[in-house]
Amino acid sequence: MNAVVDPSRRQFLKSSATLAAGLTIALALPIAVRRALAQEGAPAKPPAVDPNAFVHIGSDDSVTVLLKHSEMGQGVWTTLPLVLAEELDCDWSHVRVEHAPAAPAYAHTAFGLQMTGGSTSTWESYAQMRRAGAMARAMLVAAAAQRWQVAPSECRVDKGVISHGEKRLRFGEVAEAAARLPAPSEVTLKDAKAFGLIGKGARRLDTPAKISGRAEFGLDVKRPNQFIATVARAPVFGAKLKSFDAAKAKAVPGVVEVVQVPSGVAVIARHTWAAIQGREALVTDWDLGPGAGLSSAQLLQDYRKLAATPGAVAKSAGDAASKLKGGAVVSAEYHVPFLAHAPMEPLNCTVEIGKDGCDIWTGTQFQGVDQMAAAQILGLKPEQVRLHTTFLGGGFGRRANPASDFVAEAVHVAKAAGKTVKVVWTREDDVHGGYYRPMWLSSLRATLGKDGLPTAWHHTLVGQSIIAGTPFAAAMIKDGIDATSVEGAANSPYLDAIADHRVELHSPTSPVTVLWWRSVGHSHTAFVVESFIDELARAAKQDPLAYRRALLAKHPAHLAVLNLAAEKFGWGKPLPKGHAAGLAVHESFGSIVAEVAEVSVKDGRPRVHRVVCAVDCGSVVNPDGVVAQMESGIVYGLSAALHGAITLKDGRVEQSNFHDYPALRLADMPRVEVHLAPSGRAMGGAGEPGTPPIAPAVGNALAALTGQRLRSLPFRLA
């Protein structure tokens, strides 16, 4: 199969209008349905798959998998090839991986455009990868059978060798002939009992490059005659550039040009240091606009007032309002701040505009959107924008921007300068750059019955919509409810056990740009719901585990995970003096995760010693990959729970770098134990579900230890 068809030449989505229409159709189906459809057994009509788009067999027996998803640490570089190789029956040691180009063949099967996010990669491409592998195998076998003049059904395949009786042919020997054969319309997939790779897993295929400095991240891209640019952006959200004076910037040795772009002023230099110094010397004058009046403290006051008024109804049953009028009401207000994603690799993008189109190198999660944005700026057809995905030095959602901020800006800079340019963001740019996890306020009230269990529940959330104003709005905002704002709150399993409940939402706007941050809405709703449930358990003087068990009686999958985590932790058994435990269970992205945290307090600060995690993500392709993602999600959530806050004062972001926007460090790393509890439910995600339960688990442990209920993040003990 040397003659790989260049997918970028194929029929392309013609315009962003078509893109939006495709998205609407894809998104109209609930995610759970899409998840089921993407997996084996469910589809009556299997998706059309062109094996040539996903795998290339070399005459040297190499098996190159073209990866439609972006590798940002979550392990798709290994997991998806495992799925394809399972059906291909190749020699695993011959598998190589490349990021696929941006092209329609690589559109997300559930979302309709090429992207990586929402903890969807493995389940959304599972059937596609299997079919691609099986089809390629069938074509290779057909080519060998043809050469031998035997029936394909009489041939066997083992580790990349096709055999018939005593005859043997390696994949590489028939690859070219196989590529000329038509792809079969029907293929038989393996029975799960015959799996040798799926469910067993393999070591990461990106390790050799990443331990030797060879892995190419966006920041490492080097093109001929490439310049480096930094951009002086608005100091306040929504500010407009009035004027700039480039004289001092141009006087910095190495600076070659200063150009205005829509987002600010770009300083273009021969190397990064000159670009950084040049920008420091640049003089800019901004019309700050209303954003200059923003402060987190004022926003919190505004949110508090809003929370006291009726919002859009996200979920309602019975009559919570009248039930909450009389009797003993437990009430609480929770608050979480804006958060920057702060991936280790700051944002960057390299753009080379040529005669016949444009080449872009970047670590993005949003190829489909970025390609379209670049095409629009340059007046090109999307297929004339060749987008090369590099490794991503972390993504966490920041590199999936419906506004294509860092890609569009780099295209503008390259266009204005008439040069090949890599736009580099400093850490300060990243921390100041917006597209934060929104700040949220939650107001909750509940009444308890004689058995201590809640009889009425009222939850009002206040926070900016991520989806409003994006092409996703038409499909994902219904009756004023951005589904991502209330996920985990409006569909909490606890509500099923509370006859009268109501969840309301206010979606105020502000000049602060917001975006999905690892686990999106669940990043705040799990904290709020799981903490408040813990408060109710304490108010009812019941054990938090027993209390949850009672409420989750009709949710056996949640119960199983909760019980497993509690059992592995040794819930209820004595802990060292000065230690206490807390737990939380939360479903997100199709997976249920329970975490039990053991904490102490030292010098007035929380210490987390141990976290036991149980996860049911349906079925598992690469077990150690899931374990790694749970470890990762826990650390990401702990960083936010213990340290993370972006705050605004007079419109300025008060943090700038890792000294004032800290993340968890090695010495504070708890011992994490992960227990997989696959259940046979439809496959869920792994990248995000580990994050939501950790903040409430730690907060609940701190409440048990100190009696202090900490209702805002990051945790600060009195």
Partner 1 sequence: MKLLVNGTEHEVDAPEDMPLLWALRDLIGLTGTKYGCGLAQCGACTVLVDGQAVRSCRLPVSAAAGKPVTTIEGLSGDASHPVQRAWAELDVVQCGYCQSGQIMAAAALLRTKPKPTDADIDAAMNGNLCRCGTYQRIRAAAHRAAELAQAK
Per-residue contact flags (x/-) with partner 1 for residues 403 to 442, judged by CB under 8 A: -----------------------xx---------------
Q: Is 564 in the site for partner 1 (CB under 8 A)?
A: no
CB of residue 657 to partner 1, shortest distance in Å: 5
Q: Is 663 in the site for partner 1 (CB under 8 A)?
A: yes
Token couple for 667: 């010495």
CB of residue 667 to partner 1, shortest distance in Å: 4
Sheet holding 156-158, edge to edge: 156-158, 161-164, 167-170
Q: Which of 151, 308, 328, 666 binds partner 1 (CB under 8 A)?
A: 666
Q: Is 225 in the site for partner 1 (CB under 8 A)?
A: no
CB–CB of 266/413 below 8 Å?
yes
Q: Which of 24, 59, 272, 376 binds partner 1 (CB under 8 A)?
A: 272
Q: Is 75 in the site for partner 1 (CB under 8 A)?
A: yes
C-alpha 235/C-alpha 652 separation (Å) is 7
CB of residue 212 to partner 1, shortest distance in Å: 5
Token couple for 407: 């890609």
Per-residue contact flags (x/-) with partner 1 for residues 306 to 345, judged by CB under 8 A: ------------------------------------xxxx
CB of residue 341 to partner 1, shortest distance in Å: 8
C-alpha 253/C-alpha 251 separation (Å) is 6
| Residue 150: count of CB within 10 angstroms of its CB | 14
Q: Is 208 in the site for partner 1 (CB under 8 A)?
A: yes
Please report the DSSP string for 423-485 in residue order: EE--HHHHHHS--BBPPEEEEEEEEE-TTSSEEEEEEEEEE--SSTTSTTHHHHEETTEEHHH
| CB closer to partner 1 out of 246 and 431 | 431
C-alpha 504/C-alpha 508 separation (Å) is 13
Q: 250: exposed, middle or buried (C-beta count within 10 Å: 0-12, 13-18, 19+)?
A: middle
Cis status, amide bond into 343, omega within 30 of 0:
no
Per-residue contact flags (x/-) with partner 1 for residues 227 to 256, judged by CB under 8 A: -x------------------------xx--
Q: List the helix and strand counts (H, then E) for the chain.
A: 21, 28
Token couple for 517: 């941050």
Q: How far is CA 399 from CA 395, 520, 631, in A?
A: 5, 14, 21
Q: Is 271 in the site for partner 1 (CB under 8 A)?
A: yes
Per-residue contact flags (x/-) with partner 1 for residues 597 to 636, judged by CB under 8 A: ---------------------------x---x--xxxxxx
CB–CB of 73/201 below 8 Å?
no
C-alpha 291/C-alpha 307 separation (Å) is 23
Q: Is 126 in the site for partner 1 (CB under 8 A)?
A: no
Q: Which of 578, 671, 716, 717 binds partner 1 (CB under 8 A)?
A: 671
Q: Is 213 in the site for partner 1 (CB under 8 A)?
A: yes
CB–CB of 276/451 below 8 Å?
no
Token couple for 495: 């509500």
In degrees and rounded to multiples of 5, residue 362 shows phi and psi of -165, 160
| CB closer to partner 1 out of 27 and 221 | 221
| CB closer to partner 1 out of 184 and 637 | 637
| CB closer to partner 1 out of 399 and 586 | 399
Of 205-213, 467-475, 507-515, 710-718, the window that binds partner 1 (rule: CB under 8 A) is 205-213
Q: Is 693 in the site for partner 1 (CB under 8 A)?
A: no
C-alpha 652/C-alpha 664 separation (Å) is 25
Q: Is 188 in the site for partner 1 (CB under 8 A)?
A: no
Q: Is 577 in the site for partner 1 (CB under 8 A)?
A: no
Of 59-67, 219-227, 322-330, 601-609, the window that binds partner 1 (rule: CB under 8 A) is 219-227
Q: Is 704 in the site for partner 1 (CB under 8 A)?
A: no
Q: Which of 145, 512, 664, 683 binds partner 1 (CB under 8 A)?
A: 664
C-alpha 384/C-alpha 388 separation (Å) is 12
Q: Is 74 in the site for partner 1 (CB under 8 A)?
A: yes
Q: Which of 147, 190, 200, 204 binds partner 1 (CB under 8 A)?
A: 204
Q: Is 267 in the site for partner 1 (CB under 8 A)?
A: no
Q: CA 425, 467, 339: angle at the middle one, nearest 5?
A: 45
Cis status, amide bond into 714, omega within 30 of 0:
yes
| CB closer to partner 1 out of 273 and 297 | 273
C-alpha 378/C-alpha 371 separation (Å) is 11
The contact set with partner 1 (CB under 8 A) reads 71-75, 203-204, 206-217, 219-220, 222, 228, 253-254, 271-273, 276, 342-346, 391-396, 426-427, 624, 628, 631-636, 639, 657-659, 663-667, 669, 671-672
